[in-house]
Amino acid sequence: MIIYYNVEPLRSKQEIAAFVNYARNGTHGERNALLILIGLNTGLRMSDILNLKVAQVRYQDVVQITEKKTKKRRLILLTRLRPQINHYIEDLPDSEYLFTNRQHHPLSVNAVYKLFQTIARKMNRTDIGTHTLRKTFGYHYYQQTHDIGTLMMIFNHSSEAITKRYIGLSQDVIMRQMAGFSLGIEGASGEKENNQKDWLVPRVAGLTSLFGMALFIIDCSF
């Protein structure tokens, strides 16, 4: 059975700042904030972030990883995060995973999901999941560069349409177009307006259902 997730990127700087701050001000704040910052600035899948070890990030800013899902090699750049990384790993041994629990076992994707759900409730959001960081990276990378080709390569996607849908651009386009769309509203009054409403209700409901289905994204497929 296919499970659909309506997971969206954080589209504004204010949303990103709030997300990071909620993580930083909670339990294991420094760990959680750094995990989020790495996700936001590299676009890695959560499973690959949690697979990082201290030694990988201590001595170099350009880190080569092998993606767990695709088995492909990828380089990530951590230069801008060097101050935060150095402070966090100062007393950690090279052999340890970068993000661990109290028993020094690597964090699980499920544990991160629960953390993100706690933050989502504080932000009154129902569309945040473990792919939110990856989608947010892609959304803002595209907004700043409009380079969909490079983003496709980073995400290992097979088409521009898949990448645009994944990072939420398709939904943005639909919502912008629908914002100025109306039928039977201007210039209608009285019985004529009521008749138009009666005629439109079942059809608009059908359109809403179709658009709702179209906007769902399979979060676990990318």
Active site residues: 45, 69, 131, 134, 157, 166
Residues in Cβ contact with 33 at an 8 Å cutoff, skipping those fewer than 6 apart: 20, 23, 24, 84
Alpha helices by DSSP H, listed for the chain, are: 13-24, 29-42, 46-49, 54-58, 82-89, 109-122, 132-145, 148-155, 160-166, 169-179, 190-215
Q: Among 17, 85, 28, which residue's Cα sits nearest to residue 57?
A: 85
Give the span between the Cα atoms of 204 and 137, in whole angstroms: 34
Neighbours of 85 (CB within 10 A): 20
